[in-house]
Amino acid sequence: MMEIDPKITAAEIALYLKMTVQAIHNKVKSKGLKVKKAQNKAYFGHETARVIINHNVNQLKIAISVVKGGVGKTTLAEALAIRVALYGLRVLCIDVDQQANLTKGLGMDEKAKHCPVMIDLIEGKAKAEEAILQVMPGLDLIPSRLDNVTLDGYMMINRVNPEKIFNKIFEDVFKNYDLVIFDCPPTLGSTVCAAMLCADVVISPLNPDVYSYEGIQIMDKEIKNIREQFSKDINWKILLNKFDSRTILSTGYISQLMQDPAYASRLLDSVIRTSQEFPNMKQKEKTIFDSLKKSTAKEDIDALAKEIIEIMKIHSKTTQAAK
């Protein structure tokens, strides 16, 4: 059975808070918090980080979706969820892809065999609370399995309105989390539409290749259709993934995106470079944050996590202003 043990160091939290490492240690000591050591480095888990950082954010719901398989969508969802949880925020991942790659990636596939999944919740056979699995402190999962292959068909036949269905199902659950991440299948069905309508931000990973770019163009059309049909302004962002500055292909695509008025403003600041560490750690049944060694993969996901947290802070200010 897969066992993960993600970590965040005192130095990383000090950098985030713009404090000295000694100040972090003093804070930990004064509050009687737990700290561990490995390779002569002090590190924490979710609970300690939550107390030290004491975030002021509003809840943010993200749908990670693109009409193209193999772009690293699930790998990014998994790594982002873990890193944000390590920064002390409470994260809920909702796997709505019948392939259940996120469920497997988080080591929850065995438990998912005996747990309700999305189709059970939509059919009213179980409550959302009954479907929650704890992956690690600060990170929970609504798992998926092959049963979800009937989701789109059920929603269409029973005329389930995608606009409010997820908010209705998870009404009592969402309030327990700071960040919610929907990992969507690479299709454009009712399930993906429901996730987009529920989300505050839709993020589409883009690999530097022609087929991935075509997927972004199709997403653009679909989001416009959803906006018109449901009169909702969807905040859509593009995340450049598997970037390699050494290749003309990667630099060419980012240049093309930045010059394209339809997409330039949608690019997230973070860029995920190509890294062998993602598949290597997956093969070891570990996460990239189980190790304390520095790597480009960890640096890039850390930058993405910080960007998402900043969006949550802006979202908080916007919400408070609206009140």
Structural domains present in the chain: 1-54 (1.10.1660), 55-322 (3.40.50.300)
User: Residue 315: pLDDT above 70?
Assistant: no
Share of the chain above pLDDT 70, in %: 93
- State the average pLDDT over residues 292-304: 95
User: Residue 12: pLDDT above 90?
Assistant: yes
| CA pseudo-torsion sign 223, 225, 227, 230 | negative
Q: How does pLDDT run across 14-24, given as a tens digit for each residue?
A: 999 999 999 99
Three-class secondary structure of residue 22 per DSSP: helix
Up-side HSE of residue 197: CA atoms within 13 Å toward CB? Answer: 24
Q: How does pLDDT run across 27-57, given as a tens digit for each residue?
A: 999 999 888 888 888 899 999 999 999 999 9
Share of the chain above pLDDT 90, in %: 70
Lowest-pLDDT choice from 193-207, 218-232, 306-320 = 306-320
Q: Which pLDDT band, with edges at 50, 70 and 90, does 144 fall under?
A: very high
- State the average pLDDT over residues 95-101: 94
In angstroms, the Cα distances linking 195 to 21, 22, 64, 97 are 40, 43, 9, 11
As a whole number of angstroms, the distance between CA 131 and CA 144 comes to 10
| pLDDT value, residue 264 | 83
Burial 121-138 (b: 16+ CB within 10 A, else e): bbeeeeebeebbbebbbb
| pLDDT value, residue 246 | 67
Average pLDDT, the chain: 89
| pLDDT value, residue 250 | 59
Q: Which pLDDT band, with edges at 50, 70 and 90, does 323 fall under?
A: very low
- State the average pLDDT over residues 249-269: 76
- State the average pLDDT over residues 184-211: 89
| pLDDT value, residue 255 | 73
| pLDDT value, residue 251 | 66
User: Residue 162: pLDDT above 90?
Assistant: yes
| pLDDT value, residue 322 | 44
As a whole number of angstroms, the distance between CA 67 and CA 53 comes to 37
